[in-house]
Amino acid sequence: MKRSIFLTLVLYLFFFSNGYGAISLKLTLDKPVAALTDTIIMKVRIDGAAKGALPNIQGLDSFDVSNGGTSTVFKMINGQSSYGIDYTYYLYPLKKGKFRIGPAVVNIDGKTYKSNKVTLVLTDDKEKGAHLERGPLFMEAFISKQDLYVNQQALYTLKLYRRVRIADLSLDMPEVGGLIIEQMAEPKRYSVTLDSKKYEVIEIKYILMPARAGSLSIPPAKMNMVVQQQQNWPNSFFQDPFFGFNAGKPVSLQSNSIQLDVKALPEVSKPDNFSGLVGAFDMNCELEPREISVNDSATYTIKVAGSGNIRQIPDLKIKAVDGLKMYQDKPVLDIKKEDERITGIKTMKWAIVPERSGKFQIPELSLWFFDPEQKIFKELKAGPTSIISTARSQKEKSELKVLPEGNNQTAIIARPKKNKKEVVQVGKDIFPIHTSESSIKGVWIFRYANMALIIILICPPVLCLGLFIAKRLTYKNNNSKLMTKSKNALKIFIKKNNHKNMNPEEIHNAALEYLNNKFLLEGGYLTRDEAVCLLVKRGVSENTSKKFETCLKEIEAVIFSGTKNKNLHKIQIEFAAIVKSIEKEIR
């Protein structure tokens, strides 16, 4: 916490103080003596200035220079603060010798300031081991062979030695005209000990193949990376690479250059039909089967295998033989990248079909290549190979006729296996006009299309809407009928109840029918308890409900006992009064 407050204060003081102190320039190199393959770090410090123009440095004609960035420096010693800017440069030497670098000149507020001069001695790579010490990060290039023939393979190896943590590694391979460069397998990582120090090595291998004779120089390969610097914050989570707070310094390294002496192939002994192959090759041929029936097919295979410029293995051609048909397959080239060389096999196949019986000879095929180890041209030969064709027996012929078309065996015998080839587009043109009378038939269909379309699209929703309206109307009608029935319940009851000579069942039924009509009930009549419950539920007073129950009880007693009751008329009148009360009290 204290540290962060201190840093904030310092930064505040630094950035908001606009004045300059006493300005001075200092030019330094990370080493006074270096090899041609080394990268020299040069720094120009401007003390007393918080900002300023880029310094102009003299004496850098013999170097490739790349900018390594700018950093600000703040120091506080015994209460006195000082600040400045560091400009970092990477120097890649172009030639050996003794060089004076500097002074660095910078213009600040109209005043010109100059730095000191430094001396740098650059030696040959070979001398380096004697008196130079390897740093924690360096790069070397090796070649397996410097004297080569045109098209001969050589192994070019780049090794990056490191004792520091690096990130964002990228490689710039040099491009050389007349040199084919092909990367081998993935880069290897391993450890070695040099000068009693353990180094992590990243090794990348390439195969080089010169395409022309002469002296070829492979310029240094460059590797760019970020070197992760150790922070003075012990056990801080900022040191965890996950958070990406580790300070990184961009570094660019270069390897040594390599000189190649490429010789042309000897013209004196060069055969006329030389294929251009350089390396070690072998060729073999195979015919399977060697004896076949007429119109059957045999497969003739030639394989050319070896290491060298295998992509240049030519497609071999067999001379035509009278009585033999030959169909060539597309040659197949199988390339393998081994640890230190490129090898491969080219397989060429022919389907050989004898047209008549007899003994035929497939002519010899030859292939010339140059062996750079023995420095001579060598010839590879395949064949000649004999093939015997026998006439098909009568039995086989008859079987051919009898067996159905779908039989696989027959298909194989009957039709000699032919080489399938891609359909080749020979010409291109538009397709012809359409002549069918149906082309203009659409007109007649369209004559009534609009009308039909309207009918088809409009009818379903209209019909659906009609059904919906009809259904709604029916529903309303039914409801109104029921409402009328409910309203007329009293009238119906009074009409029925007005008869003087009504028997008890009729009075009982008239009362319950009134309830059914009034409350739109369906099915049979209610029981006494159900009727009372319903009346109470519909807001009829308890007194009226009780009276209705009493009357029902009395009339039911008469019905079930079978006795004559002289008070029937009185009950009738009571019912009429109760029903009128119900009409008033009902909600």
Q: Which of 468, 533, 537, 557 binds other proteins (CB under 8 A)?
A: 468
The reply to whether 471 sits near other proteins by the rule CB under 8 A is yes
Identify the residue whose tokens are 């080489």.
419
Q: Which of 439, 478, 484, 488 binds other proteins (CB under 8 A)?
A: 439
Q: Nearer to other proteins by C-beta: 198 or 447?
A: 447
Could you give the CA distance from residue 236 to residue 240 in angstroms, rounded to a whole number?
A: 8
Q: Which of 79, 461, 523, 524 binds other proteins (CB under 8 A)?
A: 461
Record the tokens describing residue 273, joined without a space. Answer: 């039909």
Q: Are 108 and 54 in contact (CB under 8 A)?
A: no
Q: Nearer to other proteins by C-beta: 77 or 440?
A: 440
The reply to whether 442 sits near other proteins by the rule CB under 8 A is yes
The reply to whether 431 sits near other proteins by the rule CB under 8 A is yes
**In angstroms, what CA-CA distances link 399 with 409, 535, 568?**
10, 103, 116
User: 248-254 and 214-218 as β-strands: parallel, antiparallel, unpaired?
Assistant: unpaired
Identify the residue whose tokens are 């310092």.
10
Q: Nearer to other proteins by C-beta: 77 or 451?
A: 451
Least distance (Å) between residue 454 CB and other proteins: 11
The reply to whether 454 sits near other proteins by the rule CB under 8 A is no
Rg (CA), the chain: 55
3 state DSSP class of 482: helix
Least distance (Å) between residue 422 CB and other proteins: 19
Q: Nearer to other proteins by C-beta: 79 or 442?
A: 442
The reply to whether 435 sits near other proteins by the rule CB under 8 A is yes
Could you give the CA distance from residue 500 to residue 493 in angstroms, rounded to a whole number?
A: 14
Q: Which of 78, 436, 501, 563 binds other proteins (CB under 8 A)?
A: 436
Q: Please, what's the b/e burial string for 333-350 (b: 16 or more CB within 10 A of its CB; e: otherwise)?
A: eeeeeeeebbbbbbebbb
The reply to whether 443 sits near other proteins by the rule CB under 8 A is yes
3 state DSSP class of 322: coil
The reply to whether 423 sits near other proteins by the rule CB under 8 A is no
Least distance (Å) between residue 451 CB and other proteins: 13
Could you give the CA distance from residue 67 to residue 47 in angstroms, rounded to a whole number?
A: 19
Q: Nearer to other proteins by C-beta: 444 or 560?
A: 444
Q: Which of 111, 198, 434, 587 binds other proteins (CB under 8 A)?
A: 434
The reply to whether 451 sits near other proteins by the rule CB under 8 A is no
The reply to whether 427 sits near other proteins by the rule CB under 8 A is no
Record the tokens describing residue 536, joined without a space. Answer: 């109470």
Polymer length of the chain: 587
Contact segment (CB under 8 A) with other proteins among 10-18, 325-333, 430-438, 573-581 equals: 430-438
Q: Which of 194, 456, 483, 557 binds other proteins (CB under 8 A)?
A: 456
Contact segment (CB under 8 A) with other proteins among 66-74, 204-212, 383-391, 440-448 equals: 440-448
Q: Are 117 and 103 in contact (CB under 8 A)?
A: yes
- DSSP of 370-392: EETTTTEEEEEEE--EEEEEEPP
N-terminal to C-terminal alpha carbon distance within the chain: 82
Name the site residues for other proteins (rule: CB under 8 A): 428-444, 446-447, 453, 456-457, 460-461, 463-464, 467-468, 471
